[in-house]
């Protein structure tokens, strides 16, 4: 299984001092969905590292996963992420 990290820009000065511990990193599994057999096959993972909860977090991770794990529009359509971590909040 391949793991991809989504990085954010570094802050300097006073803002960087407040981030010593950092937020907990959540790993989201990326799946290839076979709609005919109705199965999800894990193909990798993407880490969510944002400090604040935003409504587009899951959509952004899906976009990153599609860029990394698919090479055609057909494969991009069959790429999905597990959003159960986001539903628990």
pLDDT digits (tens, 9 = 90+) for 5-46: 665 556 555 555 455 466 667 888 999 999 999 999 999 999
Give domain limits for the chain.
2-8+25-87
Cα distances from 85 to residues 35, 43, 44, 72, 88, in angstroms, run 23, 18, 16, 28, 6
* Longest distance between any two alpha carbons in the chain, whole Å: 53
pLDDT at residue 9, as a whole number: 58
**Global model pTM greater than 0.75:** no
Task: Indicate the pLDDT class of residue 47, thresholds 50, 70 and 90.
Answer: confident
pLDDT at residue 2, as a whole number: 61
Q: Give the gyration radius of the chain's Cα atoms.
A: 15
């Amino acid at each position: 299984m391949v793991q991809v990290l989504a990085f954010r820009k570094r802050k300097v000065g006073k803002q960087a001092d407040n981030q010593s511990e950092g937020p907990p990193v959540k790993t989201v599994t990326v799946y290839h969905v076979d709609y005919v057999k109705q199965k999800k096959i894990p193909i990798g993972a993407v880490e969510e590292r944002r400090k604040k909860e935003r409504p587009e977090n899951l959509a952004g991770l899906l976009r990153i996963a599609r860029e990394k794990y698919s090479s055609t529009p057909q494969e991009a359509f069959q790429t999905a992420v597990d959003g159960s971590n986001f539903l628990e909040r």
